[in-house]
C-alpha cells in the first residue's frame, strides 16, 4: 500500500510560490493589498499542492498572532481615538486586529516598550509615539510611523499630517480676524516642532512678534493651563492663542477663565487635532483637523502593503489638514 501523501501546509505554499507566509495568509483572506502576480503565484501553488487551509492554520499563518502592535504615548491623549479607529477599520478586511500599548504605563515593566509585542510575534508595529534608543526593532517586522516624529526609524513607512501647514493656517485665520498679539503654547516631539515652525512662518510673514511658551514635553490639559498662565503673565496684551493640541487648548480656556477673560470675546483660542472633546457642546473649540481617522486608514494600508511586499521601498503619506471653525475665535476687540 502506497504511503499516504503528507498534507500540504501554508509553509509549503509559501515556499512553492516564493513568497512569505504572511502574504499567503493575505491571499487566503482575499486582501486587496496583494499584487496580481503574487496572488496568481500563491493560487497556483495552492492548486498544485492541493492545499486546504483549516481555520486554525489561517488564523495562525506564519506563526504570528494576526495582530498589529500599536505603541502610543498616553491613553489620556484623545489624539489617538480617531487614529486607532481608522487603523482598525483599515486592517479588518485582512482579518488583522490591533493591540495597543501605552509607552508611559509600561516603562516600569519593560526597558524596551516593544518587548511585549515582539515576544507575541505581531505582524507589524505602528509607532504613534516618539521612537527612543531603548526600542529594539526586528528586521522581520514592518514598522509604520504614525504622525510627525523627531527621530527616524530606518526603513519605516511614515503616514502623517502636514502639521506645519496646519499651524500656519490657524495663525492666518487669527490674523484675518484682526489679531496681532498671538501666542503659541507648545509641548515637545516631532509634531510640536512642526507646529511651532508653522506658527513662526505665519507670524514672520505678517511681521508680528512671536510668543512661544513651553514648560514641558507633555501636551496635557494641565500643561496647557500652566503655559497659558505664564503667557498671560508675560504678555497680558495677548488676544489669541494657538494651542499645541485640543487638550492644551482646554487648559488654556481654564486659565483664561481664571484670569477673568472671556473666550472668545477677550481671548480667541484654537486647538489642534479636532479630537472628540473639541466638538462637545461645552467647548465647541475651533481647531485644526489633522485627519486622524484618515491617518489611521493610510497606516493600515501601509501595513498591508508591507506584508504583501516586504522588500518594497519605504513610503511616506502626507495628509493636508483642515481648519474647523467653531465658537472659540472672534474678531479682535477694538480692531
Strands (E), 73-181: 97-102, 124-128, 143-146, 157-161
Residue 250 is predicted with a pLDDT of 97
Q: Mention every residue, 6+ apart, whose C-beta is less than 8 A from residue 52.
A: 7, 8
Q: What is the DSSP letter of 157?
A: E
- Report whether 329 contacts 298 (CB < 8 A): no
Which DSSP symbol is given to 276?
Answer: G
Task: Give the gyration radius of the chain's Cα atoms.
Answer: 24
**How remote is the C-alpha of 54 from its chain's centroid?**
35
- Ramachandran quadrant class, 328 (left: phi over 0; alpha: psi -120 to 50; beta: rest): alpha
pLDDT tens digits, one per residue of 161-173: 999 999 999 999 9
Contact 170, 240 (CB under 8 A): no
Provide the pLDDT for residue 118.
67
- pLDDT of 4: 47
pLDDT at 16: 92
DSSP 20-88: -HHHHHHHHTT-TTS-HHHHHHHHHHHHHHT----HHHHHTGGGS-SEEEEEES-TT-THHHHHHHHHH
Q: What is the pLDDT of residue 55?
A: 45
pLDDT at 281: 93
Confidence at residue 109, expressed as pLDDT on a 0 to 100 scale: 47
Look at residue 47 in the predicted model and tell me its pLDDT: 87
For the chain, which residues score pLDDT lower than 70?
1-6, 53-64, 103-113, 118-120, 335
In this structure, are residues 315 and 302 in contact, taking their beta carbons and an 8 Å threshold? Answer: yes
65 vs 27, 126, 205, 250, 305, CA distance in Å?
17, 15, 51, 39, 18
Which runs of E-coded beta strand occur in 194-331?
Answer: 212-213, 240-243, 268-272, 286-289, 316-319, 322-324
> Which class for 56: exposed (0-12), middle (13-18), buried (19 or more C-beta within 10 A)?
exposed
* Number of other residues whose CB lies within 10 A of the CB of residue 267: 27
Q: What is the pLDDT at residue 54?
A: 54
pLDDT in tens, 97-129: 999 987 665 554 445 667 777 666 788 999 999
How, if at all, do strands 124-128 and 67-72 pair? parallel
Cell of 226: 500652566
What whole-number distance in Å separates Cα of residue 285 and Cα of residue 247?
Answer: 11
3-class state of residue 324 by DSSP? strand
Q: Provide the pLDDT for residue 10.
A: 82
Note the pLDDT of residue 132.
83
Amino acid at each position: 500500500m502506497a504511503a499516504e501523501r503528507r498534507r500540504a501546509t501554508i509553509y509549503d505554499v509559501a515556499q512553492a510560490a516564493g513568497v512569505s507566509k504572511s502574504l499567503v495568509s493575505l491571499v487566503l483572506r482575499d486582501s486587496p493589498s496583494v499584487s496580481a502576480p503574487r496572488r496568481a503565484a500563491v493560487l497556483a501553488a495552492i492548486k498544485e499542492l492541493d492545499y486546504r487551509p483549516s481555520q486554525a492554520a489561517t488564523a495562525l499563518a506564519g506563526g504570528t498572532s494576526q495582530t498589529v502592535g500599536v505603541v502610543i504615548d498616553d491613553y489620556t491623549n484623545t489624539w489617538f481615538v480617531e487614529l486607532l479607529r481608522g487603523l482598525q477599520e483599515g486592517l479588518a478586511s485582512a482579518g488583522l486586529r490591533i493591540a495597543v500599548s501605552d509607552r508611559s504605563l509600561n516603562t516600569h515593566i519593560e526597558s524596551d516598550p516593544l518587548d511585549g509585542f515582539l515576544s507575541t510575534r505581531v505582524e507589524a508595529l505602528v509607532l504613534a509615539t516618539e521612537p527612543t534608543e531603548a526600542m529594539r526593532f526586528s528586521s522581520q517586522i514592518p514598522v509604520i510611523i504614525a504622525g510627525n516624529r523627531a527621530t527616524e526609524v530606518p526603513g519605516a513607512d511614515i503616514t502623517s499630517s502636514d502639521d506645519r501647514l496646519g499651524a500656519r493656517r490657524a495663525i492666518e485665520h487669527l490674523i484675518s480676524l484682526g489679531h496681532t498679539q498671538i501666542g503659541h503654547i507648545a509641548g515637545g516631539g516631532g509634531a510640536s516642532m512642526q507646529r511651532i515652525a508653522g506658527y513662526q512662518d505665519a507670524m514672520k510673514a505678517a511681521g508680528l512678534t512671536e510668543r512661544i511658551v513651553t514648560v514641558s514635553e507633555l501636551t496635557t490639559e494641565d500643561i496647557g493651563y500652566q503655559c497659558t498662565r505664564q503667557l498671560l503673565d508675560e504678555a497680558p496684551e495677548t488676544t489669541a492663542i494657538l494651542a499645541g493640541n485640543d487638550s492644551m487648548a482646554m487648559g488654556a480656556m481654564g486659565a483664561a477663565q481664571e484670569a477673568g477673560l472671556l473666550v472668545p470675546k477677550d481671548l480667541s483660542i484654537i486647538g489642534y487635532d479636532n479630537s472628540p472633546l473639541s466638538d462637545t457642546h461645552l467647548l465647541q473649540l475651533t481647531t485644526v483637523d489633522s485627519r486622524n481617522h484618515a491617518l489611521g486608514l493610510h497606516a493600515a494600508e501601509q501595513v498591508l502593503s508591507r506584508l504583501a511586499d516586504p522588500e518594497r521601498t519605504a513610503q511616506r503619506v502626507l495628509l493636508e489638514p483642515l481648519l474647523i471653525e467653531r465658537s472659540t475665535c472672534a474678531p479682535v476687540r477694538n480692531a
